[in-house]
Amino acid sequence: MGLFILRRLGVMLLTALCLTFIVFFLTNLYPNLEKLAKTQGNFRMTDEAVASWLDDRGYIDNTFVKYGRWLGVVPGWVTEKEDGTVTGQCFAENAPVAERATFCGVLQGDWGFSLVFKDEVSNIVATRLAATGKLMGFVLLVMVPMSLIVGVLAGMREGSGLDRSLSTFSIATTATPEYVSGVIFIAIFASSAFGLKWFKGSATQAIENATFENFTLPVLTIALYGMGYIARMTRASMTEVMTAQYIRTARLKGVSFGNIVLKHALRNALIAPFTVIMLQIPWLLNGVVIVETLFNYKGFGWLLVQAAGNNDIELLLAVSVVSVVVVLITQLISDIGYVFLNPRIRIS
Amino acid sequence: MDPLTWTGPLGQFLDPVLYVLSAIFLIAVLIQIVMSVATGGSRVVTNPDGTLSSAGGAYDLSATATRWTGAALLLVVLAYIILGVFGGPGTTGIIGGMSQQLIPVWIALIATFALSITFKRKLGLYGKLFDSTVGMIGFALVMFWVYAGAMAGLLDWITTHDSLSQVSGMKNKVPGTPMRGAEDGEYAWYLLGGDNLARDVFSRLFKGAWIVVQIAPLATLFAFMVGITLGLPAGYYGGRLDTLLSFLANLILAFPVILLFYLLVTPEIVATGIPNYMATVLFVFPLIFVGVLLNSRYYTQPSFRTPLLIIVLGIMGWIYLSLISDGGTKVAVLPEFLDLFDIDPGILVVFVSVVFVNAPTVFRIVRGLALDIKTRDYVAAAQTRGEGPWYIMLWEILPNARGPLIVDFCLRIGYTTILLGTLGFFGLGLQSESPDWGTTINAGRRLLSVYPHAAIAPALSLLTLVLGLNLLADGLREESLKD
């Protein structure tokens, strides 16, 4: 087991390195850098001015060297201008020679500086992640119990009226992406066209002060799309368990239907949905980006859109590291959890 | 001209009936659900001759009630559409106007269903679809959009106005607004209202359907070609090849889709030509697939195989080269006079990124199926006969994996449609005046709380198309499991 986790961690690290390198490579292509120079300097810069601006800041070097600098395994860039001022990646302008750090990268805990937000990347990501954590927490709180109940109710008697209506409902939710359900929800519950102004169509204030009025629609929108899939998996696993021999034995012994479902079937039926729920979390990340844009909730997804839209390289790298780590950790947890929940499976 | 109401003059009689029937139907469904939990389903009695028959009872009664009210509800809804076909906007308002515009679609749908149901025993899996209600509903929804999209996009039939022209005074007008100063021969209303640039929402909806209906299945097909061509050897050979390809697939899957889209679809990246290079690599897979498929089958008859391969690969190669080479981009291998067609660079980028995102999932499914099927006896038999590995993969394993793959293909078209919508929603790739649904939702969402109609129409369309594909996949799965 220990070896298995170690190997998985190794693969995770390799994946994270490859992915960040791809992001790094794509964001550091010359047209992107040119745009960056023009937005940071001024828009009427000549090609030579752009080149020297980029050269002063170490952007022209080899991609691998730059990536190494970001990681903190290659010394940061140092530029000495003709008038003698020395600027560097790892120290303020004209800092005394003794106080100049050589390395400053992720390994040293320095995630860089966001050029759009004019702040430390680690600060920005931490605040935005907290906001999204709140959203995700509420989503999971709504989504998981609801989808499990729907799945178990549908699966306990295959082919019944209840099963058919609930299955139709879950198929309908998987067919409704967040930008469709969000639009419909806002139109029905928050617009003046239908007149039902029950909720608010914007969740901007929910960051400081989440109320029922401004937080319901975003939470519901994300939860609904993820729900259908988990419910269908739960239903499939429940119908399979309900045809098992030990359920038939229990029924022949005269155990009541309610007891069969709650005491005999439920625990075995919930193993498969656990994996699905864990693997669904990365998918929720997509939903979070869409919903935060639609409802203008300034969380991690909103940050991703801002960073990507403005080619804010260091911020974008931090954002992708966080999301890749989320994906890989949920995969790991789902694998390990599956083994713990299902004693029939052994890792060799 | 008066503004149209949703259901028009006839609606005064039909609407109350509809409301009452829907209320009764909802109550009946609720009662049936309660009954199915409370009474344990329908009571079955054993007859003296050993047969079983239903003994009626409370549950059966509620089920019958649901069925009949459901049928009555359906009849009323059909009444709106059929009356609309004959009477147009004058009888059943906006719904009538729309259903009159859609007459060719209704005819095509009815013809498809009549033909398919008549010959369903001779049509294999497709025919079996018509045994399942869910499958038929799904198929009807999908074909509705396919026909409507094709007729609006190719023949210009269904639309009432030009999808790009702006008419003064129609900005953000609600559905059914008459056109100011409509001339003779011009359609007198904006059936689904005007958007924030005073364009007709109804016409844009169906023009957009054509874009979606074209790109989504084609992109899914390409993703399947890539996934199958890489997944079969990974599952069949295993070992290092499998480890490497699985690692690459997991790498792409670990990427948040939206981040990938933002990285690939921005104008700066397009300027570097990376999407064109990716297209060059991804679009070569259908060639490899078909080439290997035919070669592995006919390599024992070289006199037949060689001309066949030359013709097929020649035609495909020409299409491939015309597809990837595009004047003005980095990949322009073919001279202008040989270039059959140019793809709009925006659409090409969207296409490539959607294929790129979908292919790893298909790869994983195919690999799993190949791992399972390669242990079967008929594969061992083929190996004993001395068949080559590619023959076994493509002519023994692949046909036996077709059931799950067809089902997944339908689901994946739906997912691709959602992805296309996501791209449009973030304003990536396609131009901002493009009528596709995602872009229209993106344009309409800014005024959502005041004028929701411009965003709701494409949102509901996307919902019905994807729902139809999911139901179709469900019906296919059910029917393919039966034998």
Residue pLDDT, tens place only, B385-416: 988 899 999 999 999 888 889 989 999 999 99
Question: In this predicted structure, what is the pLDDT of residue A340?
Answer: 77
Domains and CATH numbers, chain A: 2-120 (no CATH), 122-341 (1.10.3720.10)
Q: With contacts defined as CB-CB under 8 Å, which chain B residues touch A226?
A: none
Would an 8 Å CB–CB cutoff place B133 in contact with chain A?
no
Facing residue for B36 by CB, picked from A157, A294, A316 = A157
| pLDDT confidence bin for B56, thresholds 50/70/90 | low
pLDDT at A348 over 60: no
HEC readout, chain B: CCCCCCCCCCHHHHHHHHHHHHHHHHHHHHHHHHHHHHCCCCCEEECCCCCEEECCCHHHHHHHHHHHHHHHHHHHHHHHHHHHHHHCHHHHHHHHHHHHHCHHHHHHHHHHHHHHHHCHHHCHHHHHHHHCHHHHHHHHHHHHHHHHHHHHHHHCCCCCCCCCCCCCCCCCCCCCEECCCCCCCCCCEECCCECCCCCEHHHHHHHHHHHHHHHHHHHHHHHHHHHHHHHHHHHHHCHHHHHHHHHHHHHHHHCCHHHHHHHHHCHHHHHHCHHHHHHHHHCHHHHHHHHHHHHHHHCCCHHHHHHHHHHHHHHHHHHHHHHHCCCCCCCCCCCHHHCCCCCCHHHHHHHHHHHHHHHHHHHHHHHHHHHHHCCCHHHHHHHHHCCCHHHHHHHHHHHHCHHHHHHHHHHHHHHHHHHHHHHHHCCCCCCCCCCCHHHHHHHHHHHCCCCCHHHHHHHHHHHHHHHHHHHHHHHHHHHHHHC
pLDDT at B10 over 90: no
pLDDT at B296 over 70: yes
A234 vs B51, residue with greater confidence: A234
HEC readout, B105-165: HHHHHHHHHHHHHHCHHHCHHHHHHHHCHHHHHHHHHHHHHHHHHHHHHHHCCCCCCCCCC
Would an 8 Å CB–CB cutoff place A345 in contact with chain B?
no
Q: What is the C-alpha separation between A34 and A67, in angstroms, rounded?
A: 18
Q: What is the C-alpha separation between A57 and A77, in angstroms, rounded?
A: 7
Question: In this predicted structure, what is the pLDDT of residue B98?
Answer: 86
Which residue, B56, B110, B106, is CA-closest to B81? B106
Over residues A37-66, the pLDDT tens digits come to 877 777 777 878 888 878 777 787 788 888
Q: pTM of this prediction?
A: 0.89
pLDDT at B380 over 90: yes
Q: What is the C-alpha separation between B6 and B8, in angstroms, rounded?
A: 6
Give the range among B4-8, B260-264, B423-427 with minimum mean pLDDT: B4-8
Would an 8 Å CB–CB cutoff place B36 in contact with chain A?
yes
Would an 8 Å CB–CB cutoff place A221 in contact with chain B?
no
Over residues A105-163, the pLDDT tens digits come to 777 777 888 888 888 888 899 999 999 999 999 999 999 999 999 999 888 888 777 78
pLDDT at A261 over 80: yes
Give, as one character, the DSSP assignment of residue A311: T
Over residues A205-232, the pLDDT tens digits come to 777 777 788 888 999 999 998 898 899 8
Q: With contacts defined as CB-CB under 8 Å, which chain B residues touch A293?
A: 425-426
Chain A segment 49-88 residues within 8 A of B by beta carbon are none
Distance of CA B50 to the CA centre of its chain: 47
| pLDDT confidence bin for A347, thresholds 50/70/90 | low
Sequence-separated (6 or more) residues with CB below 8 Å from residue A18: B251
Question: What tokens appear for A121 in the block?
Answer: 């990347």
pLDDT at B184 over 70: no
What is the mean pLDDT of the segment spanning B354-382? 91
What is the mean pLDDT of the segment spanning A88-96? 70
Facing residue for B445 by CB, picked from A15, A183, A309 = A183
A80 vs A258, residue with greater confidence: A258
The CA distance from A229 to the nearest CA of chain B, in Å, is 12
Question: In this predicted structure, what is the pLDDT of residue B310?
Answer: 92
Are the Cβ atoms of B254 and A309 closer than 8 angstroms?
A: no
Question: In this predicted structure, what is the pLDDT of residue A79?
Answer: 74
Nearest CA in chain A to B66: A161
Over residues A315-346, the pLDDT tens digits come to 888 888 888 888 888 888 887 877 777 777 66
Rounded (10°) CA dihedral B31, B32, B34, B40:
150
| pLDDT confidence bin for B329, thresholds 50/70/90 | low
Which residue, A175, A328, A152, is CA-closest to A233? A152
Would an 8 Å CB–CB cutoff place B33 in contact with chain A?
yes
Facing residue for B254 by CB, picked from A19, A161, A192 = A19
Over residues A13-40, the pLDDT tens digits come to 888 889 889 888 888 888 888 887 877 7
Question: In this predicted structure, what is the pLDDT of residue B330?
Answer: 64
